[in-house]
Amino acid sequence: MAVIGVVQPAPVERIIVALDSTSPEQLFPLVDALMNSGVQWFKVGLATWISGGPGFVDRLRAKGARVFLDLKLHDIPHQVRLATQSASNLGVELLTIHACGGAEMVAAARDGASAGMRVIAVTVLTSLDATVTDVICAGEKAVASGADGLVCSPREVKAVRQSLGGDVLLVTPGIRPSWSTRDDQKRIASPRDAIHWGSDLLVIGRPITQAQDPITAVQRILDELAA
């Protein structure tokens, strides 16, 4: 059900490793090791962006990494359009905005994005409680306003997929392998369940980045997906 091109991606190509750090320079050995194991995607969140800025993204791109810039933009449409243009210029492929910013803001983000970047609307943060109806309603409005895809928890992804069809890219945080802890995520599921329910890309952070052996952690996730 993936919509990331014509060919079904390999499981490792569906993993986005979340890079969340106030010392992003220290992340590059991890990035190199993960890329050598087949990981392509990396999420740059607020802490990493504030600490490392565009230079950090430039270095990721220079290594051949695919970048998901998770800034959850929520501002007046003009500012969001400009920010989206700037992200496009960096070669970012995925950028998040908040669905609750409204139709005009979502449309402005899409207007500012290049053809090579997709605008992904965050429905409801996975640290918050939400009903499936809340998520579907937010998602439908965002897509109708031009969003290329949605961020939703694995608990809603099946219903969102059924409601919006196969052409909407669904990016799923709150992924916790069977052997990991919940941390501060509330609406979680395993990688295997999320893919089965219709997720295209899985955002996984601490179960990989804080593992004693991150490469082994990735392999365990791939084994879980293949089981």
Q: Tens of pLDDT along 136-146? A: 999 999 999 99
- Residues 64 and 55: their CA atoms lie apart, in Å, by 14
pLDDT in tens, 212-226: 999 999 999 999 888
Query: Within 13 Å, how many C-alpha atoms sit on residue 22's CB side?
Result: 0
Mean per-residue pLDDT for 126-131?
A: 79
Q: In the chain, where are the structural domains located? A: 12-226
Read off the pLDDT of each residue in 58-79 and give the average, rounded to a whole number. 98
DSSP state of 4: S
Amino acid (one-letter) located at 135: V
* Rounded Cα gap, residues 97 and 119, in angstroms: 7
Active-site option among 43, 63, 72, 186: 72
| Residue of higher predicted confidence among 5 and 71 | 71
Q: Is the pLDDT of residue 2 over 50?
A: no
* Distance in angstroms (rounded) separating the CA atoms of residues 145 and 141: 6
Mean pLDDT over the full length of the chain: 91
Beta-strand pair 169-172/94-98: unpaired
Active-site residue flag, 72:
yes
Angle CA(199)–CA(205)–CA(206) in degrees, nearest 5? 135
**Maximum CA extent, the chain:** 47
Q: Which contacts (CB < 8 Å, 24+ apart) does range 179-185 have? A: 179/220, 180/206, 180/207, 181/206, 184/127, 185/126, 185/127
Beta strand segments in the chain, E: 15-19, 41-44, 66-73, 94-98, 118-122, 149-151, 169-172, 201-204
Determine how many CB atoms are found less than 10 A away from the CB of residue 7: 8
Q: What is the pLDDT of residues 31-58, one digit of tens each?
A: 999 999 999 999 999 999 999 999 999 9
12-226 under CATH 3.40.50.360, yes or no: no
**How does DSSP assign 101-133, residue by residue?**
G-HHHHHHHHHHS-TT-EEEEE-S-TTS---HH
